[in-house]
Chains A and B, each alone.
Chain A
């Protein structure tokens, strides 16, 4: 059945995409009357099994079990299969149908012309139409409207006779802005300054300050890294390192800090290496090369048995992720078959994949960019080269000595092959040839050599990138085929690169620009099409992502699936208005942040006087009658603890930091060793942690960290006991609580009340209430102040108030 459907689709697609006008007539004249007599009482308005059969489009669209009718193929048409009794229960349910009826329907179906594009569910039409700029609605409470966002939100609320929540308190707002934009809490001084500033634009000033702060890029870069499944290792069994992948991470952080226009950001990541584009990027020729690392971020089975399969996996992954990340469509689902829900044919998927057909993976030389501090990088590279020479020589020397010792012990002479077995004797702890000291010396030198080799690799001026293989280097770009069931063995029709037909409205091959010799221009064509104001999805998908990170939920709550299986937008007009704004503001993210954060909608409190009643009507707060609660991500929790304890190291960029992991976990790796970085390094922000697919930082793992295998559009916010274990008992909490205690004493002096006040201000941006102070003071009984404050630190880091943003 599946195979048949696929064959039909493939042959049908050859016929072109235009809907055969005759089919509808055939349906109306020959099929509809029979259906209306036998089927429509259940499969009409009643929609049994989600199937309605009153129109041709409905039959094409089908119901719960898939399309009911496949034009030109009665055998694949479920409608006929059920009536004929091939599928159970036989239809019409409970009555016996004269065979002539289904035969007549079958022959009518067979007389239809095969159709290419699946019937599109009318619910989806909006996403394939370019957003118009909707008019800002009129509202009764004009005074609440600070900018048009508020008008869109309020208009909906007013139709339901609901009112928005009051404005959040100043402290709540400030914490919200800080965590939203830089992922860290404000200092007590910053809180004080803001609370003292009574001017109307007090918040705007803070927003401007934070948007200019480099920590903004670290925060928002992390969101993007989630989306592009960023990792610094291959995954799979070996999980080998990608020593210069960190440069892509820094490229992303820079792009956010520079407020690189989003269209440019897209183009660089898809085709930054093609033609002039790479060199144009702000006078930094390497940026484009670093950017295309995006295409290679997926997992890579380095020991795969089959190169062809590996290549196919790469192409599929790149195409699928591109579609999800930039277009919010799950085109990857159409790899094996036509998309079950969205109008993306299997052929469409392979046409999309064909844009990458000339792309090969390549670690390319890429000079250091200014922000990477070329002088330091070069100095370190030379230093590691020297160290490696030295360590390598020492290691060889030692090996030679140990070899001779083995030879002497076993009465072997030079040239005896057996001498090479000295390694075995070394590894065998029971073997008496060597002392424990010799063994540990040997291991230390071997490890040092390996470690310096790794360090050196991380300091090479190379980009984890892709390159083109195109004429005139080769005769032609490798052809792309539709693959039956996604299998290499089932090559079908050959296809040319082309844009998703549901968006482009046609199935013609894309026009490829000339971007220079040895380059196909394919990815540039794709990038230009995606990063175009006329693409109906690009801007919408991105503004929805920005919205989600500020509000906790998107306007579409499935940010990487705008298709039928995804969520419907709660405020479609607002989404379109924002998309238009985004383009108008030259794809500036910072402009969008300001717009959103300065709205009254965002500045609402999380509480509402009518909360009980409103929760009944709108339990999910889809109408935004209050602000959503935000749970900090693992990164923010960890970074906040370090920030509050005063130990967060501000150093930016560079190779990843190796955090500490438990010894039994460390033993689980067969193919690499895990050497934690020095403490000062380890105290840097979590975004700089080395992202090894098989080794997640324990804090991120329990707090719903991004799974690095696939694009992660939305972090979970689960509550499970292991979080309590990590945060309540873990090393980080207890170590930092001690530093926190010392810092508090240093800032507050010897008075316990002042100490407690300071501790609350640092951790929660507020002074304790009287009762809270008294309770906290209980910790001083029988303890030195420093110890009491360390206990208090543990408690503060674990409070709901610490991890949830009001």
Chain B
């Protein structure tokens, strides 16, 4: 069948039967009928650290940096593919300005940038050896989200929702919570459905004011007004659809209005942060302007997965971690904004027994270099590094306290148990009950996959 008609039919089905009630029929005939194997996690919270976090200043201590501080790093043998210009000039190794300590029963190293997350290390599985393919932000962010360096492909959230559907027919299956101070490059394309049916795209929600733009009509419109309007809309649309059977989109559009109508009633109830215990709000950092943005969104994420939303993605502001200069200023600020909220999210989920069924992923688009430009020594930073990045998993199906991968002495390159971004994708899908090889969608002449032609599950992080 042609992809486009399939897409349309699919869309129609997915909108009419987005609930558990019709989940099986909705996916009937499609490639992803139900989980391929028993799922360890029902939902995923994806914490996106935009700009690229420095591994040697957070979770991958490199004492050798102290020894070689201010000395020249030898790049001559490396084939550099990105930011060539930066490596053509004199460069000096930079020791980490942060102090590392061992934490938890597993004795995991965490720098003083993340004192709160450090309390949760026994629930985290770190991978220190993830490599990317492209060292430019826009391409790398697209790759992290969609497995492709250009826009236009479905994001990991869209794939997951496509594979599993949603558990709550009154809410979208995939919700995105960006920081409105600065949206990620290409905005909604980062969480688009690509060639998958549009209903699998992420829906952006706001953390201040109404969570969804125009969720409700203007204030002057009364409940009676709204109801009367809807009654007439239904009647006229039904009359029109009866005569026009060649257009399946008409029914899809009628259903979209019904879903929107239901969401109008459910969304505000779901996302009522004020009703939460003040101590919990404090724990998430809602009383502090520094942590308020990320904290509120972490709390919203918990509320959403609690209500059956399949995939929630949070973003730090665009480029926030991108400390080419002033590493101390940039990383300290970003860690302060996120550390407390992330720890609160993990503890809150655990306390409610939700951590077992929720996968939490912490990741950026790439890591950073051990050295930087000699000319920027006044306020030094670190440059992009696709050869090594540290990320972690937590929650459903994840072996807490695990440590995977090793980088070289200076932390610039993964040398053992090397994994790629595609492997991270494969692992996420695996934990959600999906086989990344089997989760396909026919498009442009081939069965497309999130992991394209690669990807292995990172077994070492599985419990």
Residues of A within 8 A of B (CB): 236-237, 305-306, 308-309, 485, 487-489, 557, 565, 606-608, 611, 615, 619-620, 626, 629, 631, 662, 664-665, 667-668, 670, 694, 696, 698, 701, 707, 709-710, 716-726, 728-731, 734, 769, 771-772, 775-776, 778-779, 782, 791-792, 794-795, 798-801, 803-804, 806
Q: Is B386 an interface residue (CB 8 A)?
A: no
Q: List 13 A-B contacts (CB under 8 A).
A: A306-B85, A489-B81, A489-B84, A606-B246, A606-B247, A619-B5, A664-B180, A709-B151, A719-B199, A724-B261, A725-B212, A775-B236, A800-B240
Q: Is B444 an interface residue (CB 8 A)?
A: yes
Determine if B215 and A729 form an interchain contact, defined as CB atoms under 8 angstroms apart. yes
Nearest neighbor of B186 in chain A, beta-carbon distance: A709
Determine if B85 and A631 form an interchain contact, defined as CB atoms under 8 angstroms apart. no
Determine if B84 and A488 form an interchain contact, defined as CB atoms under 8 angstroms apart. yes
Give complex CA distance A799, B250 in Å: 10
Q: A607-B246, A729-B216, A804-B247 are in contact. Are A694 and B187 (CB under 8 A)?
A: yes
Give the residues in chain A near B11, CB-CB below 8 Å: 718-719
Q: A667-B181, A668-B182, A794-B229 are in contact. Are A729 and B246 (CB under 8 A)?
A: no
Give the residues in chain A near B220, CB-CB below 8 Å: 734
How far, in Å, is B384 (CB) from chain A's closest CB?
Answer: 11
Interface contacts (Cβ under 8 Å), in number, total: 179
Within 216-254 of B, Cβ neighbours of A (below 8 Å) are at: 216-218, 220-221, 224-225, 228-229, 231-233, 235-237, 239-241, 243-247, 249-250, 252-254
Give complex CA distance A798, B236 in Å: 10
Spot the interface stretch: B200-208, B279-287, B394-402, B406-414: B200-208
Give the residues in chain B near A728, CB-CB below 8 Å: 214, 217, 257, 260
Find B245's partner among A237, A611, A775 (CB 8 Å cutoff): A611
How far, in Å, is A90 (CB) from chain B's closest CB?
Answer: 18
B156-172 to A contact mask, C-beta < 8 Å, 1/0 = 00000000000000001
How far, in Å, is B3 (CB) from chain A's closest CB?
Answer: 10
Give complex CA distance A306, B84 in Å: 9
Determine if A626 and B246 form an interchain contact, defined as CB atoms under 8 angstroms apart. yes
Give complex CA distance A169, B138 in Å: 49
Q: A565-B444, A668-B180, A795-B229 are in contact. Are A772 and B84 (CB under 8 A)?
A: no
Q: A721-B260, A778-B228, A800-B253 are in contact. Are A729 and B217 (CB under 8 A)?
A: yes
Find B208's partner among A629, A664, A716, A720 (CB 8 Å cutoff): A664
Q: B213, B231, B252, B324: which has the most chain A beta carbons within 10 Å?
A: B213
Give complex CA distance A716, B213 in Å: 21
B27-66 to A contact mask, C-beta < 8 Å, 1/0 = 0000000000000000000000000000000000000000
Determine if A725 and B213 form an interchain contact, defined as CB atoms under 8 angstroms apart. yes
Q: Is B120 an interface residue (CB 8 A)?
A: no
Determine if A734 and B232 form an interchain contact, defined as CB atoms under 8 angstroms apart. no
Determine if A662 and B4 form an interchain contact, defined as CB atoms under 8 angstroms apart. no
Give complex CA distance A730, B213 in Å: 8
Within 305-343 of B, Cβ neighbours of A (below 8 Å) are at: 318-319, 324
Determine if B214 and A726 form an interchain contact, defined as CB atoms under 8 angstroms apart. yes
Within 339-378 of B, Cβ neighbours of A (below 8 Å) are at: none
Q: A729-B217, A801-B240, A804-B249 are in contact. Are A309 and B257 (CB under 8 A)?
A: no
How far, in Å, is A404 (CB) from chain B's closest CB?
Answer: 33
Determine if B256 and A730 form an interchain contact, defined as CB atoms under 8 angstroms apart. no
Determine if B187 and A734 form an interchain contact, defined as CB atoms under 8 angstroms apart. no
How far, in Å, is B253 (CB) from chain A's closest CB?
Answer: 5
Determine if A620 and B4 form an interchain contact, defined as CB atoms under 8 angstroms apart. yes
Find A719's partner among B80, B213, B231, B252 (CB 8 Å cutoff): B252
Interface residues on B, range: 35 or more
How far, in Å, is B382 (CB) from chain A's closest CB?
Answer: 14
Q: A237-B318, A707-B189, A728-B260 are in contact. Are A799 and B236 (CB under 8 A)?
A: yes
Q: Is B73 an interface residue (CB 8 A)?
A: no
Within 419-463 of B, Cβ neighbours of A (below 8 Å) are at: 444-445
Q: Is B15 an interface residue (CB 8 A)?
A: yes
Find B212's partner among A557, A565, A722 (CB 8 Å cutoff): A722
How far, in Å, is B196 (CB) from chain A's closest CB?
Answer: 11
Nearest neighbor of A788 in chain B, beta-carbon distance: B228
Q: Is B105 an interface residue (CB 8 A)?
A: no
Determine if A771 and B245 form an interchain contact, defined as CB atoms under 8 angstroms apart. no
Give the residues in chain A near B217, CB-CB below 8 Å: 728-729, 734
Give complex CA distance A305, B199 in Å: 39
Determine if A565 and B445 form an interchain contact, defined as CB atoms under 8 angstroms apart. yes
Give the residues in chain A near B265, CB-CB below 8 Å: none
Determine if B151 and A707 form an interchain contact, defined as CB atoms under 8 angstroms apart. yes
Determine if B84 and A800 form an interchain contact, defined as CB atoms under 8 angstroms apart. no
Give the residues in chain B near A791, CB-CB below 8 Å: 225, 228-229, 232
Give the residues in chain B near A619, CB-CB below 8 Å: 1-2, 5
Q: A306, A720, A795, A804: which has the most chain B beta carbons within 10 Å?
A: A720
Give complex CA distance A306, B228 in Å: 60
Give the residues in chain B near A707, CB-CB below 8 Å: 151, 186, 189
How far, in Å, is A724 (CB) from chain B's closest CB?
Answer: 4
Determine if B201 and A720 form an interchain contact, defined as CB atoms under 8 angstroms apart. yes
Give the residues in chain B near A629, CB-CB below 8 Å: 244, 246-247, 249
Determine if A729 and B256 form an interchain contact, defined as CB atoms under 8 angstroms apart. no
B1-19 to A contact mask, C-beta < 8 Å, 1/0 = 1101100000100010000
Pick the 4 closest A-B CB pairs, nearest first.
A718-B198, A724-B260, A306-B85, A729-B214
Give complex CA distance A776, B189 in Å: 40
Determine if B180 and A720 form an interchain contact, defined as CB atoms under 8 angstroms apart. no
Q: A309, A719, A730, A778: which has the most chain B beta carbons within 10 Å?
A: A719
Give complex CA distance A309, B172 in Å: 41
Give complex CA distance A755, B187 in Å: 44
How far, in Å, is B459 (CB) from chain A's closest CB?
Answer: 19
Determine if B237 and A799 form an interchain contact, defined as CB atoms under 8 angstroms apart. yes
Give complex CA distance A779, B246 in Å: 31
Determine if B256 and A775 form an interchain contact, defined as CB atoms under 8 angstroms apart. no
Nearest neighbor of B324 in chain A, beta-carbon distance: A305
Find B84's partner among A487, A716, A718, A798 (CB 8 Å cutoff): A487
Give complex CA distance A718, B254 in Å: 13
Give complex CA distance A620, B248 in Å: 12
Q: Is B209 an interface residue (CB 8 A)?
A: yes
Q: A725-B213, A726-B213 are in contact. Are A607 and B245 (CB under 8 A)?
A: yes
Nearest neighbor of B253 in chain A, beta-carbon distance: A719
Determine if B5 and A305 form an interchain contact, defined as CB atoms under 8 angstroms apart. no
Nearest neighbor of A735 in chain B, beta-carbon distance: B218
Give the residues in chain A near B229, CB-CB below 8 Å: 791, 794-795
How far, in Å, is B315 (CB) from chain A's closest CB?
Answer: 12
How far, in Å, is B175 (CB) from chain A's closest CB?
Answer: 12
Give the residues in chain A near B80, CB-CB below 8 Å: 489
Give complex CA distance A795, B263 in Å: 19
Determine if B239 and A772 form an interchain contact, defined as CB atoms under 8 angstroms apart. yes
Give the residues in chain B near A696, CB-CB below 8 Å: 187
Give the residues in chain A near B193, CB-CB below 8 Å: 718
Give complex CA distance A485, B237 in Å: 54
Give complex CA distance A779, B83 in Å: 64
Determine if A305 and B86 form an interchain contact, defined as CB atoms under 8 angstroms apart. yes
Find A771's partner among B185, B228, B239 (CB 8 Å cutoff): B239
Contacts A721-B259, A771-B239, A799-B233 supplied; 13 other A-B pairs, CB < 8 Å? A236-B185, A607-B244, A668-B183, A720-B198, A720-B256, A728-B214, A729-B215, A729-B216, A729-B218, A778-B228, A795-B236, A800-B237, A801-B236
Give the residues in chain A near B84, CB-CB below 8 Å: 306, 309, 487-489
How far, in Å, is B222 (CB) from chain A's closest CB?
Answer: 10
Give the residues in chain B near A665, CB-CB below 8 Å: 180
Q: Is B188 an interface residue (CB 8 A)?
A: yes
Q: A237-B319, A720-B201, A729-B218 are in contact. Are A668 and B263 (CB under 8 A)?
A: no
Q: A607-B245, A720-B201, A804-B249 are in contact. Are A305 and B85 (CB under 8 A)?
A: yes
Determine if A721 and B203 form an interchain contact, defined as CB atoms under 8 angstroms apart. yes
Find A795's partner among B85, B199, B233, B246 (CB 8 Å cutoff): B233
Within 113-167 of B, Cβ neighbours of A (below 8 Å) are at: 138, 151
How far, in Å, is A129 (CB) from chain B's closest CB?
Answer: 22
How far, in Å, is A76 (CB) from chain B's closest CB?
Answer: 18
